[in-house]
Amino acid sequence: MSEFKLTTVEEFEAATNRLLETGAKVGADSWQMRVKNQTPHCKFGESGMCCRICSMGPCRITPKAPRGICGCDVHGIVGRNFLRFTSGGSATHSDHGREIAHTLYEASADGNYKVKDPEKLLRLAAEFGVETEGRDIYDIAHEVAETGLMEYGKPFGTLVFPKRAPQHTQEIWEREEILPRAIDREVSCSMHMTHMGNSSKPEALIRQALRSGLSDGWGGSMMGTEFSDVLFGTPKEIDTEANLGVMVEENVNIVVHGHDPSLSEMICEYADSKEMIDYAKSMGAQGITVSGVCCTSNEVAMRRGIPMAGNFLQQENVVLTGACEAIVVDVQCIFPALGPLSRCFHTKFITTSPIAQMPDSDFIRFNSKTAGENAKLIVKTAIENFKNRNKDLVYIPQMKQKATVGFSVEQIEKKLDTVTNSHVDVTGTMMPLIDCVKSGVLRGAVAMVGCNNPKVRPDAAHIELMKKLIANDIILVVSGCSAQAAAKAGLMDKRAKEFCGAGLKRVCELVDIPPVLHMGSCVDISRMMVLAARIAKDSGWNISQIPLVGCAPEWMSEKAVSIGNYVVATGIDTYLGVEPYAYGSSEVDGLLKGGIRDWVEAAYTVEHDIDKLGDMMIERIEEKRTALGI
Ligand code: XCC
Ligand code: SF4
């Protein structure tokens, strides 16, 4: 037995408490304090029963006032709120995808952005019907990008990527009228449907919520993933590290945070240049360390092995170390608190996107044409800030774990190719994995994703569930802040196989993988959809028959609900640890937790008791196995 040990949530919390002491010294605010001021939360909001979509309201539903002024009942109000919540998420992911498509459109042989994975570009060209014969790779890239951009607003027909789904799934989407049309149209249509005086029928609203979700998962997010791979490379297995201990006291620390890899890729590039390292040395540092928070971190970890400083609820901790010269953000999941917090330290809080502008930040407007200069300026600004550190405030918790990441579908396939031993050639298929599931060596898989939320003890749900599942021979594919929780705990270290059941342990040894596979950022949940589609095709099972469930135990964002909707609509049961704002309506709640199963062969389960949530997932996986007769 090696000395390998997982890091516990108690250890995370002790480190955080120590950092909060630094915060107290400088008069900093923290989310831990703000939570106290915000609880208990408003029950009308939490149950979805407050409507403020017209100025006759706001209307709140109570036993004495069962209808809003327009006569809308609680089911209509909750349903509309749910649909708007979903569409906020679809819009956000999809607009991220659009930004990447624009970056691809700008790519050129001598520009800031180049095509790093031409093979994937050619595959996409074939899918989009773009001519490739005898053409320059950049001409192809531009036409693929443009075709992708057209998916956002095409006037007729439905999206291209859903054709990647198995026939059965596509038929469901058509039958249920939830096959997404143009990406933007689904968001617009959701806003239209929820305007005063339109839909108040729960079925109609939930159907549109599923369609809007699908336009994200099989549209905008998928675009974001694929085009990022073309530009920055499809992730391959790579070693990295996770948790605050990746920051180096003697170095200039730059932390990248947000979601869009275009900026962070450039920053990593410059921070690694001799010119910048020499400059850092001339300023008294020993070097430059770039680390990440949230999904930007996942993007650069998967492609470059850049270490992960932490996930969502750890973003303030990065500044609290007193050793962060710059926290550079692009879009999404950025606490506005970072502005005032940075002012308590020497840290520069640098915003870069017109989409995410915040008070108390330095705004360096980033765009693909000036990307190189922007990134250089940011790196220089951080270096020049090193001398302003208050040494008395510096404390970096010496806590980190090794992680092996980079499990794109392509990488998983390559890994499986190393263990094909059947008489029939199964190279390039998911058959080795399917065989393990059939034989019971692996019981199944859980796709665990999503955020942290102070409503759940941060990271504890992710980590405890993962430990329980791998002990039961269930493999995990993870993304987003769930992935970072796993990495911080040590569950992405290959030695974590020690904590698996005998079957999964054997698989980890043979295939040489950790039991928890990092598939990327939140838009990369589209990779999981592709993986599920591949497994369904190779096994002959429908997606809903695969012993696979989705889980977001600590989710918080609108994006997470959009994700949940497309995962469920793809036929994968989804388990949540936090209620969506929908329990105020028995009809909406009933649809989400049961009724939609008649449409899409899957539904939601919400359970606050995390251990129970784990039992329910295991039970569901076993039910699916029994139904398959395996
Ligand atoms: Fe944001 Fe993607 Fe959630 Fe993490 S997991 S808090 S959405 S960074 Ni998507
Ligand atoms: Fe009230 Fe109806 Fe207006 Fe909503 S739409 S605020 S329920 S009057």
Domains of the chain: residue spans and CATH: 48-232 (1.20.1270.30), 244-393 (3.40.50.2030), 402-628 (3.40.50.2030)
- Confirm or reject: Cβ of 303 under 6 Å from ligand 1: no
Question: Hey, whose CA ends up nearest to atom 1 of ligand 1?
Answer: 333
pLDDT in the model for residue 605? 98
pLDDT in the model for residue 2? 55
User: How confident is the model over 347-373, as a mean pLDDT?
Assistant: 96
Q: How far is the CA of 586 from the centre of ligand 1 (A)?
A: 29
pLDDT in the model for residue 420? 77
Q: What is the pTM of this model?
A: 0.97
Alpha helices in 404-454 (DSSP H): 409-417, 431-439
- Confirm or reject: Cβ of 280 under 6 Å from ligand 1: no
pLDDT in the model for residue 3? 84
- Confirm or reject: Cβ of 57 under 6 Å from ligand 2: yes
- Confirm or reject: Cβ of 406 under 6 Å from ligand 1: no
Q: Supply the mean pLDDT for the chain.
A: 97
Question: At what angle are helices 261-271 and 294-304 packed, to 10 degrees?
Answer: 50
Q: How does 608-629 read in b/e, with b if 16+ C-beta sit within 10 Å?
A: eebeebbebbbebbeebbeeee
Mind listing the pLDDT tens digit for each residue in 260-286? 999 999 999 999 999 999 999 999 999
pLDDT in the model for residue 422? 64
**CB neighbour list of residue 608: distance below 8 Å, 6 or more residues apart:** 577, 578, 579
Half-sphere exposure of 37 (CA within 13 A, CB side): 6
Determine how β-strand 252-257 pairs with β-strand 288-293: parallel
CA atoms of 473 and 334, how far apart (whole Å): 36
Pocket test for ligand 2, best of 52, 59, 585 (most atoms within 8 A of CB): 59
Mind listing the pLDDT tens digit for each residue in 417-448? 988 766 678 889 999 999 999 999 999 999 99
Position 1 pLDDT exceeds 70: no
Position 106 pLDDT exceeds 70: yes
Question: Hey, whose CA ends up nearest to atom 4 of ligand 2?
Answer: 51
Q: How far is the CA of 431 from the centre of ligand 1 (A)?
A: 32
pLDDT in the model for residue 425? 82
Pocket test for ligand 1, best of 260, 294, 296, 313 (most atoms within 8 A of CB): 294
Instruction: Using DSSP, state whether 30 is helix, strand or coil.
Output: coil
**CB neighbour list of residue 68: distance below 8 Å, 6 or more residues apart:** 51, 56, 57, 59, 61, 77
Position 245 pLDDT exceeds 90: yes
pLDDT in the model for residue 426? 84
Q: How far is the CA of 452 from the centre of ligand 1 (A)?
A: 8
- Confirm or reject: Cβ of 53 under 6 Å from ligand 2: yes
- Confirm or reject: Cβ of 559 under 6 Å from ligand 1: yes
- Confirm or reject: Cβ of 56 under 6 Å from ligand 2: yes
Q: How far is the CA of 53 from the centre of ligand 2 (A)?
A: 6
From start to end of 41-178, where are the E strands? Answer: 50-51, 59-60
Position 504 pLDDT exceeds 90: yes
Minimum-distance ligand to the CA of 79?
Answer: 2
Q: Which of 541, 520, 244, 614 is nearest to 401 (CA)?
A: 244
Minimum-distance ligand to the CA of 292?
Answer: 1
